[in-house]
Amino acid sequence: MTNVAVVGAQWGDEGKGKVVDWLSERADVVARFQGGHNAGHTLVIDGQTYKLSLLPSGVVRGKPSIIGNGVVIDPWALLEEIKRVGKQGVRIDSDTLQIAENASLILPLHKNLDLAREEAAGEKKIGTTGRGIGPAYEDKVARRAIRLCDLNDPETVALKVDRLLSHHNALLRGLSQPELSGEDLCKLLADVAPKILPYQSPTWELLDKARKKGQRILFEGAQGAMLDLDHGTYPYVTSSNTLAGQAAVGSGLGPGAVGYVLGITKSYTTRVGSGPFPTELHDHVGETLGERGHEFGTVTGRRRRCGWFDAVMVRQAVKVGGITGIALTKLDVLDTLTELNVCVAYELKGEKIDRFPASMADQAGVIPVYETLSGWNQSTRGARSWADLPAEAIKYIRRVEELIDAPVALLSTSPEREDTIMVRDPFAD
């Protein structure tokens, strides 16, 4: 048996929540390793919908769940999420949830700065969720972040708050915003400390013990490869590394702990927020994909931009992300289309290329080169075996496999967890 890392292979929103939930039943431990509460996972279990942001999907199944050091944590948002899912019957305590003691915190000042900078940028804004993720990661990298373990010592908090505000108040002055009080921030942290500290733990140690016992660890990623800080559509990206390599760093285990890498990929493409999107559709087909796919952000509620499947982009995500196999989701959304286009290359400045360029100008300038495949005009929703799929749907899947140079390990045909065709068990690889 091996450990499995689940990552997005597009711009996020690929359906990771359902797949992680489906896999969590086979796992012993589930660990989040990057991102913050800007990422949302939707799980549908026995007709009940759970919307998670910071919590690992394993909590719904009662699996031991870990929020790793690579995640930035808004304590107030996390406590509210715990309360919300608790009302749905999901019991969460320090036995089921552990948070890395060295995880950095998102503070109210991070959210305020995020919103102020986006407002000041106007039409040039990046399109963040406004939840303070970016500013929190900035402080982490600049070594002025307040970490969860700091809340154990008020003197440490006071010292770090002074250093933090010497930077933030200078920024606020430049944005014509009111400066912040260190005393007020210290009080906020003192109030939340006894509520969040019971969850702190040296989670790297817990994961190391689980690994030595031969337990199966499921590493749960957020967002997608094209939002990766290094390999995505920079600067229209998130503020962390979203690829499977981060699973090791963001959880405290060595790279050898990550075995099978499962890339989640929609049967078409969506994106939330600003940035390049070569295969975006502004016609009735794009509207159909959005309506049939219920394409609204789990966290923000923003409408997602929709387009044809981009094999060039996904193939690149497979290569740079070390993806072993993919879980192809939302096949049923394509059921009513008579023809399907797949982007197989780009044209840039009159030349044909087979990669997604790094340059901001080139990313905005690529023109998709399409291959047209036949649709199947019959329902695949709820299919649970290859025998339930139309022949043209199978042809589409096989062509996608060829184009992205990775096999389909799982196929999802509805939001329900049981409507899944397992071609290969990632844990058994």
Catalytic residues: 13, 41
Q: DSSP for 61-88?
A: GT--EEE-TTB-B-HHHHHHHHHHHHTT
Quick one: residue 354, left, alpha or beta (phi over 0 = left, psi -120 to 50 = alpha)?
A: alpha
First to last CA, the chain: 7
- Burial code (b: 16+ CB inside 10 Å, e: under 16) for 14-39 equals bbbbbbbbbbbeebbbbbbbbbbbbb
Element (H, E) at 22: helix 16-24
Element (H, E) at 190: helix 182-196
Do residues 428 and 1 touch, judged by C-beta distance below 8 A? yes
Report how far residue 123's alpha carbon sits from residue 199's, in angstroms, rounded to the nearest whole number.
41
DSSP SS3 for 20: helix
| Complete edge-to-edge strand list for the sheet that includes strand 97-100 | 200-201, 97-100, 65-67, 29-32, 217-220, 4-8, 260-266, 325-329, 408-412, 420-422
Structure tokens at 224: 């997608």
